[in-house]
Amino acid sequence: MTAPELNHTRDRIYVDGAWIPSTGTGTLPVVNPFTEQVIGTVPEGTAEDVDRAARAAARALPGWSATSLADRIKACSAVAEGLKARAQEIALMASREMGAPWQLAVMVQAGLPVIDFASMEDVAGQVEWERRSGNSVLVRQPVGVVGAITPWNYPLHQIAAKVAPALVAGCTVVLKPSELVPGVAYLLAEIIDAAGLPPGVFNLVTGTGPVVGEAIVAHPAVDMVSFTGSTRAGRRVAELAAAAPKRTSLELGGKSAGVLLDDLSADGFGNAVAGSLTGCLINSGQTCSATTRLLVPRARLAEAEELLTLFAQFAPVGDPLDPATQQGPLVSKVQQERVRSYIRQALDDGARLVAGGPEQPENTPTGFFVKPTVLVAEAGSRIEQEEVFGPVLTVVPYDGGDDGALAVANGTPYGLSGAVWAGDLDRATAFARRMRTGQVAVNGGVFNPTAPFGGFGQSGYGRELGPLGIEEFTAVTSLQF
Instruction: Read off the pLDDT of residues 307-337 as tens digits, 9 standing for 90 and up.
Output: 999 999 999 899 999 999 999 999 999 999 9
Residue 280: active-site member: no
97, 179, 214, 251: the active-site residue: 251
Count Cα atoms within 13 angstroms, Cβ side, for 275: 22
Query: How far is 232 from 238, CA to CA, in rounded Å?
Result: 10
pLDDT for 5 equals: 77
Query: How far is 263 from 297, CA to CA, in rounded Å?
Result: 10
pLDDT for 3 equals: 59
Q: Classify residue 301 as exposed, middle or buried by CB count within 10 Å of its CB (0-12, 13-18, 19+).
A: middle
pLDDT for 481 equals: 97
Span 272-281, average pLDDT: 97
Q: Is the pLDDT of residue 2 over 60?
A: no
Closest CA to 280 of 379, 360, 391: 391
Tell me the torsion sign for CA atoms 288, 236, 202, 474.
positive
Q: Is the pLDDT of residue 387 over 80?
A: yes
CA 154 to chain centre: 5
According to DSSP, residue 314 is labeled G
Instruction: Read off the pLDDT of residues 19-36 as tens digits, 9 standing for 90 and up.
Output: 999 999 999 999 999 999
214, 288, 305, 387: the active-site residue: 288
Residue 251: active-site member: yes
Q: Is the pLDDT of residue 418 over 90?
A: yes
Query: How far is 451 from 144, CA to CA, in rounded Å?
Result: 24
